[in-house]
Amino acid sequence: MALPTLVFDLDGTLIDTAPDLIDTLNVVFAREGMPAVPYEAARNLIGGGARAMIVRGIEAEGRTVPPDTLDRMFADFLKYYSAHIADRSRPFPGLVDALDALAAHGHRLAVCTNKLENLSLLLLKALDLAPRFAAICGQDTFGVQKPDPEILRRTIAVAGGDPRHAIMIGDSQTDILTARAAGIPVIAVDFGYSERPVSEFGPDRVIGHYAQLPQTIDAVVTDRR
């Protein structure tokens, strides 16, 4: 049986990006005279891309802003975040060793994220991880974003894989819904940015550390036979 292509979410799955994303959000809010969003609350705003994070942060404050203000905040966010994308963002514990082991075993690795593609590349290059992935696809790569399953299918295709032999690894309900819609099994990490325990959303398996990933992939493959 062909080894599955492994498709990872980025924020909250591969990389703990919350410190830099939240710092950026609060810099932008300060420029607009808005109060900072507390760190723990802001972690739950991550996952739909930068613009969605800003909108969620504004709504959390019980506010609305005109479209031109939102456009300006989004542009400011992208500019500041691009310059500070890896100040404090780091791979989750055990990730690099797990990727090494999976690559050595022969798995294709890919990234499917709602982050913009250029920001995803910038981050992964800054952390010396980009060369490990056969495809790095964001919400603007194909003009669709999770939970639309088409972004996952196209990411697998770009990586040279087959959706019939693929596994998604993510941290959120959105990732699980995307995988389910594509008919692909999904492993969830429980250390990401899900507001509720990720096990509640029905992934095939849940892991609490990347040391568990290789054996968990084997278990999912066995389940699918």
What is the 3 state secondary structure string of 58-76?
HHHCCCCCCHHHHHHHHHH
Q: Do 62 and 95 have their domain in common?
A: no
Q: Do 69 and 123 have their domain in common?
A: no
What sign for the dihedral angle of Cα 95, 97, 100, 102?
negative
Q: Do 79 and 107 have their domain in common?
A: no
Name the residue range of residue 134's domain. Answer: 5-16+89-224
Q: Do 209 and 176 have their domain in common?
A: yes
Q: Do 79 and 155 have their domain in common?
A: no
pTM to 2 decimal places: 0.95
Q: Do 186 and 144 have their domain in common?
A: yes
Q: Do 9 and 34 have their domain in common?
A: no
Residue 149: half-sphere exposure toward Cβ, Cα within 13 Å? 14
Q: Do 74 and 97 have their domain in common?
A: no
Q: Do 139 and 210 have their domain in common?
A: yes
Catalytic residue IDs:
9
Last residue of a domain, one of 83, 108, 131: 83
Looking up residue 164, the CATH number of its domain turns out to be 3.40.50.1000
Length of the chain: 225
Q: How far is CA 177 from CA 20, 145, 148, 192, 199, in A?
A: 27, 12, 8, 16, 13
pLDDT band at 1 (very low <50, low <70, confident <90, very high): low
Q: How far apart are CA 167 and CA 170, in angstroms?
A: 10
Last residue of a domain, one of 48, 83, 118: 83
Q: How far apart are CA 182 and CA 149, in angstroms?
A: 5
For 44-91, what is each residue's pLDDT tens digit?
A: 899 888 999 999 999 988 888 999 999 999 999 999 999 999 999 999
Looking up residue 47, the CATH number of its domain turns out to be 1.10.150.240
Residue pointed to by tokens 């810099």: 27
Q: Do 100 and 72 have their domain in common?
A: no
For 190-203, what is each residue's pLDDT tens digit?
A: 999 998 999 999 99
Q: Decide if pLDDT at 215 tops 70.
A: yes
Residue 49: the pLDDT is 87
Q: What tokens does 205 get?
A: 């398996």
Residue 192: the pLDDT is 96
Last residue of a domain, one of 65, 83, 101: 83
Q: Do 183 and 123 have their domain in common?
A: yes
Please count the structural domains in the chain. 2
Q: Do 77 and 96 have their domain in common?
A: no
